Amino acid sequence: MTLWWARRDLRLADNPALLQAQADGPTAAAFAWTPALHLWSGRRRAHLARVLWSLREDTGGALAIRRGAAADVIAAAAREADAPVVWAAREHTPSGVREQDAVQRALHAEGRELRFVGSPYAIAPGRVLKTDGTPYQVFTPFSRAWREHGWRSPAGAADPQRFRPLDSDVDLDQQAAHGDTADPLESRHEFRESQVLADLHSFVDSDLPRYAAERDRPDLDSTSHLSVPLAYGQLHPRTVLALTGQVRTDAARMFESEIAWREFHGDVLHHHPSAQRESLTPVMPEDAWATGREADASFLAWRRGETGFSLVDAGMRQLAATGIMHNRVRMVTASFLVKDLHLPWQRGADHFRRSLLDYDHAQNQLNWQWVAGTGRDAAPFFRVFNPDVQADRFDPDRRYRQRWIPELDTPGYPMPMLDHRVEREVALAHLRQGKRPSKG
């Protein structure tokens, strides 16, 4: 018997690690409910519990969900299954690498082997390189080489009848209920793999033609809503690309470029693990960032959606209510935090990590660095989003803002907490200071 270590690939379709495990014979399956999950918001834990519940149903109840460090859980499951080999998808984030190294050591100590096949990407990080063997620093040439490299066709679906059961010690219903209590959902996102695949086909067949023209409009329902299943691995990007590749339109290519950005950020973090916390290109002197009680009060107003800038506030309230924020609004809220409030990008990235239902580590950290002007191929720091101009351009009828700010046009809505023109000049002055050569 073999063991499949379920990680960020919680699906039966197009799952190379699971298929390889089944090719070796009857297969057991285990997921480690690690202590790190309790750093997530209740919303994220509740959704994960439902995704695991659905996958457990699809495996005939065979998937074991066990509490503990991954090394302990997977070694014990391999022992019980008498599995000489454990198959898993390789992770490339710093924490994912540490975790799989620990599992590998634990299995090796018992004479067992951890083998990897596949990753959460269409092309695994580290494979798309320049002709001199170095990684790309700029997105556009990366995306061009990424397309030229190409990716495999989606793999088949695993056989639900080939699983052998292991016991669980995590009550998924209880975890979902506790998560809802800690962070109540406005509405639940779909957690069944079959429905996720149906939603993908529906988007490509019906909504993709509008994507290019409407993707920046938070007041319109024109995005794919696939970021959540991609984050939990219910959907592989290769499956998405196989469908969009059949559509010969500019909208399809633009949608694929968003997947390419996800892959680029995964590649950057793979080559530069420190980028999860450190700016790849520092642009400001460290003493220029706001600190102290006033900075904390500003951060709290931003987090609560009480800045007096309606698009920023609507986005932060949408995030608090649903765990989701439209991508255009994410850029505006991030720019406001860094360039109007003068707070370091890491502080905003940490809040998004705790709050986003579709959290992806590489994508989150490097998107924040993009807005802050510190990442690879980032927007220059002097590009400062004007939140009022952005609101007028992308929410022209105010529908998005009125939905999330009921008191928008009443005396109960706060006045702007700052003068954007003034704070923009402050940010640019800090940038000029940061570019000066150091003395001595």
Tell me the binding residues for FAD: 211, 223-227, 255, 358-360
Please check whether residue 199 is in contact with residue 225, taking contact to mean a CB–CB distance below 8 angstroms: yes
Q: Which amino acid is at 175?
A: Q
Please check whether residue 62 is in contact with residue 167, taking contact to mean a CB–CB distance below 8 angstroms: no
HSE (CB half, 13 Å, CA atoms) of 193? Answer: 23
Smallest CA-to-CA distance from 342 within 321, 372, 322, 369 is with 372
Smallest CA-to-CA distance from 326 within 317, 345, 195, 305 is with 317
Residue 80: which H helix or E strand, with range? helix 70-81
HSE (CB half, 13 Å, CA atoms) of 177? Answer: 5
Q: Which amino acid is at 219?
A: D
Between CA 259 and CA 339 the distance in angstroms is: 27
- The binding site consists of 211, 223-227, 255, 358-360
Q: Are strands 27-33 and 2-5 parallel, antiparallel or unpaired?
A: parallel
The DSSP call for residue 208 is H
List residues bridging with 157 in a β-sheet.
Answer: 13
Six-digit token string for 416? 């702007």
Between CA 242 and CA 335 the distance in angstroms is: 34
Residue 211: which H helix or E strand, with range? helix 208-214
- How far is the CA of 9 from the CAs of 18, 117, 193, 283, 422, in angstroms? 9, 12, 11, 37, 47
Between CA 384 and CA 15 the distance in angstroms is: 41
HSE (CB half, 13 Å, CA atoms) of 383? Answer: 12
Please check whether residue 337 is in contact with residue 348, taking contact to mean a CB–CB distance below 8 angstroms: yes
